[in-house]
Amino acid sequence: MRPTPAALAAHLSELVTGTPGVARIEPSLRAGAHPFADGVPFRSARVVDHYGVVDVEVDVSVRAGHQARVIARTLRLRLLHALEEQGLVAGSVVVNVLSIDRTPDA
Angstrom distance (rounded) from CA 33 to CA 22: 24
Give the Cα separation of 52 and 31 in Å (integer).
22
pTM of the full structure: 0.84
Q: What total number of domains does the chain contain?
A: 1
Q: What is the CATH number of the domain that holds 58?
A: 3.30.70.1350
Task: Tell me which residue range forms the domain holding 83.
Answer: 5-33+41-101
pLDDT tens digits in sequence order for the chain, 106 residues long: 788 888 999 999 999 999 999 999 998 655 555 444 454 555 688 899 888 899 999 999 999 999 999 999 999 999 999 999 999 999 999 999 999 999 766 5
